[in-house]
Structure 1
Amino acid sequence: MANRRNFIKQTLLGGAALTTAPSFGFHIVKKTKSNDLVLGHGDYKYRLDRDWAQISSLRTPLLNCHEMVMDSKGRLIMIGDDPRNNIIIFDKSGKVLDYWGTAYPGGHGLTLSKEGGEDFLFLTDSGWFLDKNGKWVRHNGRVTKTTTDGRVLFDIGHPQTIGIYQPGDHFCPTETAIGPNGDIYVADGYGMDYIIQYDSRGQYIRHWGGKDNADENYNLSNAHGVAIDYRDKDNPMVVCTSRNEQSFKFFTLDGKYVRTLHLPNLQVCRPVFDDNNLYAGVCWSQPKEGKTDWRDHTGFVTILEGDTMVSNPGGTAPEYRHGELQKAYQLPEKPILHGHDVCVDEDKNLYICQWNANKTPPLKLERV
């Protein structure tokens, strides 16, 4: 791994481009060695490329970039909540290859499923969107399975229809994860904070989480993300974000609590696993002094090796005292405004989707 990393580093340094392709209405910064911004710490440092996405504000407008995955062809697929194009597909140079979807005004979660050599997408509409007057509106959220070109295969709708929610209970899903046998785990992160498990055909199996459980380990507060942790191949686990608790909670595949990983001061989004690493966008962090509200730009990205925080691109360096993780904070320069998702390519470059970031397209963090 170290030899491969050094090779990548030498290749990037030797072949770094000094100009940027037109960004069609977004501010363009000419890149030179003198103004390259390197973020991160230790072995996880990255050169920030703000103008990676060669995107047109007229043809492919953006509101919020929520999540991104890489498919088997190496294409980077992004979901957002601009109703004129929910899905935008890039190549790794940042060129737009395709865009589709107008039926997901609350486009929020995006998960890739590989079945029989074919890629499928699970799109999560959270049920929240901005209307033409700039006001937040709630509608019924849903999860949709599609092909990568947008053909709908089936929907998972409101759980009231299967008797696990009562009339008036809000269903505002934010994320899905796909288990080793094809089971679908839905995080109702903006609704009732349950994790709802379905089989591969969308038939209900069980649910857990929510609030006010006798065992508080099962409580989830803003269950924003969910993913499957395959780092122990013999013991995969469901990892759930409890964002208001600044934590990830680990469960067995059938919903039994295992443990909690607390990340002080970091309101994290979904966990993203690659090799032994866990990556996550940090949507908010409170400053050392004063308080902020949800509209303020206080985010960055965090990276862990196993359970150990090793780098915070856009934030302060991880610090442990007597084995206890200390709070991390956004850098004063605010290079990342609200980290909402991280996508990792095969060269360990990162692509960062941001929420509430002035319609910013995805950023690239190039590993150095």
Structure 2
Amino acid sequence: MKHNQRRNFVKKTMMAASAGMVLPHISLGKEKDNKADKNKIVGHGNFQYKVNKEWGIQDPAKVPINDCHEMVMDDSGRLILTVSGEHNANILIYDKSGKVLSSWGDSFPGAHGLTIAGEGSDQFLLITDPEVHKVFKTTLDGKIIQTFSAPKEFEGYQDANLFKPTETAVAPNGDLYIADGYGENYITQYNSKGEFIRYFGGKGITDETFDCCHGITVDLRNPNTPTLLITSRGKQEFKRFTMDGKYIETVKLPGCSICRPVIHGENIYFAVIVTKDWWKYDGMVAVLDKNNKVVSLPGGSEPNYKNGILESPMYDGSTFLNPHDVCIDNDENIYVPQWFSGKTYPIKLTKV
């Protein structure tokens, strides 16, 4: 969903609620105490998980949230979450038990994409905020090191407000890639000093262009030939590019509106934020093997291919409320932040 469409979705939902229309059940910070739900197993094959909807729950009076977006894990095992909103901290720091250790940031009201790079004490974050049209490079405790706005090196941005970045990725050599998923759909590449290198992509339906380049990551599974995986969410696919922006291939995933690919081991994981209808709570998690075949859909129907094409999956109707990202820990557990889910805190899927 493009940025302005998301705004309209929220606005219409609020109007529907005030008009007395029945909306899907949601809870503000705490799920219903349901024994069956606590013991629910989701997923398929070697990727099955026990659902824990209580993992991240906090006291909303002490740790208020709005929409949760993305999560990463630092070298010490802390889980870092972006949360949009003007009246809450935009960054929450969890431990693996689900306790919030600290929070910071009130300068990122549209806090969206979150990338971590570097090692040890040199780790840093990249936070995208399409609301303020910027990308922020920060320390792990919130000091802003560098800020990126609409690039001036090419003519794609006559108005700086057209720049609405959703995600970033960092190459092994330190190059930074910014995906403008809610804006003009360009990918802009900078070196480690923040100096412009090139751009590619843009809005369109060709192999080289995107319909909402919502997510981007560097695929290092072949260490000799790293590549970029970039979402084209409106087309329910992701595309592979060389590190200098040359198109390689498209992986089509019918019925799956992909947020961002996340690499763990030899697998690709991502949140499917919606399958059919933005007006109904929806979504699941997808796990792909090294050949880009879906092998598990936690929160959805068993993956099935017909004539080599994935059949559109079905939401199970209860596990997720618009999942937006996945973070995988060293035990292969998955943490799932959710967008527009009634202010719910992240869910944990424990590997079984």
The alignment status of 1:194 with 2:178, answered yes or no, reads no
Per-residue deviation, 1:33: 7.5
The match for 2:158 is 167
Does the CA contact (< 8 Å) of 1:54 and 1:96 recur in 2?
no
Residues 43, 103 of structure 1: alpha-carbon distance in 2 compared, 3 angstrom cutoff: same
> Structure 2 counterpart of 1:343, which letter?
C
Per-residue deviation, 1:35: 4.9
Unaligned stretches of 5+ residues in structure 1: 1-24, 128-139, 287-291
Residues 28, 251 of structure 1: alpha-carbon distance in 2 compared, 3 angstrom cutoff: closer
The match for 1:3 is none
The match for 1:118 is 122
**Deviations, residues 91-136 of structure 1 (Å, cap 9, x unaligned):** 0000010000000011000000115752110011112xxxxxxxxx
Q: How does 1:136-147 map to 2 (within 5 A)?
A: 140-147=132-139
Residues 166, 69 of structure 1: alpha-carbon distance in 2 compared, 3 angstrom cutoff: closer
The match for 1:344 is 328
Distance (Å, rounded) in 2 between the aligned partners of 1:151 and 1:34:
40
Does the CA contact (< 8 Å) of 1:190 and 1:224 recur in 2?
yes
Residues 39, 233 of structure 1: alpha-carbon distance in 2 compared, 3 angstrom cutoff: same
The alignment status of 1:297 with 2:281, answered yes or no, reads yes
Per-residue deviation, 1:165: 2.9
Distance (Å, rounded) in 1 between the aligned partners of 2:93 and 2:38:
29
Say which SS state the counterpart of residue 255 (structure 2) adopts.
coil
Which residue, out of 339, 343, 346, partners 1:362? 346
Distance (Å, rounded) in 1 between the aligned partners of 2:93 and 2:34:
24
Say which SS state the counterpart of residue 207 (structure 2) adopts.
helix
The alignment status of 1:103 with 2:87, answered yes or no, reads no
Does the CA contact (< 8 Å) of 2:72 and 2:81 recur in 1?
yes
> Structure 1 counterpart of 2:91, which letter?
I
The match for 2:308 is 323
Residues 33, 274 of structure 1: alpha-carbon distance in 2 compared, 3 angstrom cutoff: same
Q: Normalization by structure 1: what TM-score?
A: 0.84
The match for 1:47 is 50
The match for 2:17 is none
The alignment status of 1:240 with 2:224, answered yes or no, reads no
Say which SS state the counterpart of residue 244 (structure 1) adopts.
helix
Per-residue deviation, 1:202: 1.4
The match for 2:7 is none
Distance (Å, rounded) in 2 between the aligned partners of 1:87 and 1:27:
20
The alignment status of 1:88 with 2:104, answered yes or no, reads no
Aligned-pair RMSD on alpha carbons?
Answer: 1.8
Residues 126, 273 of structure 1: alpha-carbon distance in 2 compared, 3 angstrom cutoff: same
The match for 1:76 is 79
Distance (Å, rounded) in 2 between the aligned partners of 1:60 and 1:329:
34
Distance (Å, rounded) in 2 between the aligned partners of 1:35 and 1:163:
52
Distance (Å, rounded) in 2 between the aligned partners of 1:79 and 1:263:
26
Which residue, out of 253, 260, 277, partners 2:243? 253
Does the CA contact (< 8 Å) of 1:295 and 1:356 recur in 2?
no
The match for 2:19 is none
Does the CA contact (< 8 Å) of 2:84 and 2:109 recur in 1?
yes
The match for 2:170 is 178
Does the CA contact (< 8 Å) of 1:29 and 1:51 recur in 2?
no
> Structure 2 counterpart of 1:361, which letter?
Y
Moved over 6 A (4+): none
Which residue, out of 318, 331, 348, partners 1:334? 318
Per-residue deviation, 1:325: 1.8
Q: How does 1:221-240 map to 2 (within 5 A)?
A: 221-240=211-230
Does the CA contact (< 8 Å) of 1:243 and 1:268 recur in 2?
yes
The match for 2:63 is 60
> Structure 1 counterpart of 2:328, which letter?
V
Residues 218, 167 of structure 1: alpha-carbon distance in 2 compared, 3 angstrom cutoff: same
The match for 1:308 is 293
Which residue, out of 271, 278, 289, partners 1:281? 271
Per-residue deviation, 1:58: 1.3
Per-residue deviation, 1:43: 0.8
Distance (Å, rounded) in 2 between the aligned partners of 1:168 and 1:295:
32
Distance (Å, rounded) in 1 between the aligned partners of 2:120 and 2:42:
39
The match for 2:14 is none
Distance (Å, rounded) in 2 between the aligned partners of 1:212 and 1:52:
40
Identity %: 41
